[in-house]
Amino acid sequence: MDLVTSMSEAFSGLIGVIVGALLSPSIEAIKEQIAKKRRREYLAIKVSCLLSLFVDKCASVAMDDGLSMGQLTPEGQRTKQVNEPDIINFNELDVDWRVLPPKLLDKIFKLPIEHERRNKKIQSVRLDDLEMRDFSDVFEERQFQYSIIGIMAANISNDLRRMYNLNEINYEEWNPVDFMKTKEKKIRDIREQRGKHNLEMFNSLNRSLNE
């Protein structure tokens, strides 16, 4: 019996070693998946909340028509009532970017580049608008460009939250994204009508000159 018992115990021990060896990689893989999930969720929360703050600031700029209480300055000019948000430096965030899908990561890191481009578009209008004393074209362009960049940021934030099953941002009274979408469309419509009017004026002038 002692020999049989010893052999049984040895066999059981051997089986345990084999099972442990087989399960160990699986356990480590499961632990890594759990850790990776937590890193993804942490990144999604941190980045989406940062983007939400950025969206709010963009909406404030989109509201700014350069008038104070609906009035020009005593010099007859429009001036900033709200400063533009800083360009986000995502490299400063202590998160593991490698856990994100490449396409979403690309959208995130392209946002600061797009922000800089749209600032340059505003600046180009400012240079062209120096003769227009009230800077109305500058503020229209500023509202337009910050509506676009704000919507882009909101879309990225929503993508992150949906991908990792986070609750959507709840805007109780005023939705900055809806406001920017409305503002962008309104300015596009105004510019389209303005373009048609200018074309009609140009054609009318040409007809007068050719008569």
User: Would you say residue 210 lies in a domain?
Assistant: no
- What is the band of 151 on the pLDDT scale with cuts at 50, 70, 90? very high
Between 75 and 82, where is the model more confident?
82
CA–CA dist 37, 96 (Å, integer): 11
How far lies 158's CA from each of 58, 85, 162, in Å? 16, 20, 6
- Residues 6 or more apart whose Cβ sits within 8 Å of residue 160: 43, 44, 47, 48, 51, 104, 166
User: Would you say residue 76 lies in a domain?
Assistant: yes
User: Would you say residue 5 lies in a domain?
Assistant: no
User: Would you say residue 6 lies in a domain?
Assistant: no
Per-residue pLDDT at 8 exceeds 80: no
Helix (H, G, I), strand (E, B) or coil at 68: strand
Q: Can you tell me the mean pLDDT for 174-186?
A: 96
Q: Can you tell me the mean pLDDT for 149-160?
A: 96
CA–CA dist 21, 199 (Å, integer): 79
Q: Can you tell me the mean pLDDT for 204-208?
A: 70
- Residues 6 or more apart whose Cβ sits within 8 Å of residue 109: 90
Per-residue pLDDT at 3 exceeds 90: no
User: Would you say residue 11 lies in a domain?
Assistant: no
CA–CA dist 55, 176 (Å, integer): 7
User: Would you say residue 70 lies in a domain?
Assistant: yes
* Residue-level pLDDT at 67: 92
* Residue-level pLDDT at 16: 57
- What is the band of 33 on the pLDDT scale with cuts at 50, 70, 90? confident
Is pTM beyond 0.75? Reply is: yes
Helix (H, G, I), strand (E, B) or coil at 78: coil
Domain with 67 in it: 19-204
Mean pLDDT of all residues belonging to the chain = 85
Per-residue pLDDT at 202 exceeds 70: yes
* Residue-level pLDDT at 201: 76
For the ranges 2-6, 131-135, 168-172, 199-203, the maximum mean pLDDT occurs at 168-172
Convert the pLDDT of each residue in 89-142 to its tens digit: 999 999 999 889 999 999 999 999 999 999 999 998 877 655 666 788 899 999
Kind and range of the H or E run holding 53: helix 2-63
User: Would you say residue 4 lies in a domain?
Assistant: no
The number of folded domains in the chain is 1
User: Would you say residue 153 lies in a domain?
Assistant: yes
- What is the band of 21 on the pLDDT scale with cuts at 50, 70, 90? low
